Amino acid sequence: MRYISLHCIQPKAVLAKPILGPSGQVLLNAGVTMEAIYLHRLTELGIPGAYVHDPLSEGLEVINAISDELRMHAIKNISNTFSKAESGKSLTESSGYEMRNIAENIVDEIINHGDIMLNLFDMKVYDSYTFFHCVNVTVLSVIIGLGMGFAKPKLVNLAYAALLHDLGKVFIPPEIVNKPDILTEEEFDVIKRHPKEGYDYIKAHFPNSITESVAAGVLDHHERIDGTGYPGGKCNKEISDIGRAISIADVYDAFISDRPYRKGTYSVDAMEYIMGSGGTQFDYDMVQVFSRKVALFPVGTCVLLSNGDTALVLENYEGFTHRPRIKVFMEKNENITPYEIDLTREAFDITIITSVEV
């Protein structure tokens, strides 16, 4: 299987993974044959792509950090929690404990996968970007926490905070949150309230299931090491460990995500920004962990090589994220009999230039 942008998917292609709707419901299940009407509707929903089976990727298995079932369950609960908060409906403590249980399940699944490299592709629906984003940020944050040696209780607190980190945005006018243009200074001041809004809300509604470290992670996720963040302008160790981890995950996923008003950046460009900001905006040690564990070119991605050839990424290696194992299938835009190259072991004069859509 491989991930293909929606406009490149041909009718009769077979889905390899389910496509989720705004509240985590299954829109199309794995094994469905794509029809023109499906592609049209998915385009209207703003879904950027999907995993499909095709001859090029036959036998290739993409292993995600968490299961599709857990992802759906998490999205549904985030959607429900955020919607109730936005509408002013009361939330019971049981909602907090349910979210904490989801956080623990996410941690368990990631731990059980061992040293898996993280291949982060997500089929987000634009109108519910926040819910999908919260799950991705949770996965990325836990990967950082594991690399930093956090004990399991701290990892669960980290995951819990990450799931709820953007809750405060429901109290910000949507015309500001979703504005396609540059925010005015006044509008940005409003945006900067959302970490404190989320912090206050969870402290009031989940007093028993929320620890202070979880609340601090929600409050601190836009703080920066050099003091340029918000809402408190904290520096260095004034920022909680959980907040520092979430800040990296939050920025990375926001960069690579498609939105109605802009195309997401390539993973390699987002990683360059994160690495270039290590020690200034972001915790240096956490950035080093992050750069080793997140695949720049996820399995199933097509890439352009420095010699003009095109290849499919088959496997990534921790610490060598620029040098995956690949299958070359085009030479100078001409189809060839595919062959494999492990870039960590051979062809040292060849590099990956960028991801491409084929």
Rank 52-56, 88-92, 102-106, 110-114 by mean pLDDT and report only the highest. Answer: 102-106
Tens digit of pLDDT for each residue in 248-286?
999 999 898 876 567 778 888 999 999 999 999 999 999
The residue that leads in pLDDT, 336 or 27, is: 336
DSSP 277-290: TBTTTB-HHHHHHH
Q: Collapsing DSSP states into helix, strand and coil, what is residue 261?
A: coil
The residue that leads in pLDDT, 282 or 320, is: 282
CB atoms within 10 A of CB 134: 23
Residue 175, exposed/middle/buried by CB under 10 A (0-12, 13-18, 19+)?
Answer: exposed
The first and second tokens of residue 6, run together, are: 């929606």
Mean pLDDT of all residues in the chain? 90
pLDDT greater than 70 at residue 110 = yes
CB-based contacts of 291, cutoff 8 Å, min separation 6: 271, 274, 275, 321
pTM of the entire structure? 0.90
DSSP 71-119: HHHHHHHHHHHHHHHHHT----HHHHHHHHHHHHHHHHHHHHT-SPPB-
Length of the chain: 358
Lowest average pLDDT, out of 104-118, 280-294, 301-315, goes to 104-118
Q: Smallest Cα–Cα separation from 249: which of 189, 293, 315, 204?
A: 293
Lowest average pLDDT, out of 121-135, 285-299, 304-318, 324-338, goes to 121-135
What average pLDDT score do residues 331-336 get? 92
pLDDT at 120: 62
**Is-same-fold flag (2-57; 68-293)?**
no
162's enclosing H/E stretch is helix 152-164
Q: Where are the domains of the chain?
A: 2-57, 68-293, 302-356
Q: Tell me the C-alpha distance between 92 and 267, whole Å.
A: 39
Q: Collapsing DSSP states into helix, strand and coil, what is residue 58?
A: coil
pLDDT at 119: 67
Q: Tell me the C-alpha distance between 93 and 174, whole Å.
A: 27
CA atoms within 13 A on the CB side of 132: 25
The residue that leads in pLDDT, 243 or 69, is: 243
Looking up tokens 């404990």 gives 97
The first and second tokens of residue 1, run together, are: 């299987």
The residue that leads in pLDDT, 305 or 113, is: 305
pLDDT at 126: 46
Lowest average pLDDT, out of 77-81, 208-212, 339-343, 354-358, goes to 354-358
- What whole-number percentage of the chain has pLDDT above 90? 59
What's the topology of domain 2-57?
Molybdopterin biosynthesis moea protein, domain 2 (3.90.105)
pLDDT at 163: 97
Tens digit of pLDDT for each residue in 218-227?
999 999 999 9
The first and second tokens of residue 145, run together, are: 């926490």
Residue 203, exposed/middle/buried by CB under 10 A (0-12, 13-18, 19+)?
Answer: middle
On whether the 68-293 domain is CATH 3.40.50.880, my answer is no
What average pLDDT score do residues 15-33 get? 85
Tens digit of pLDDT for each residue in 197-225?
999 999 998 888 899 999 999 999 999 99
pLDDT at 8: 85
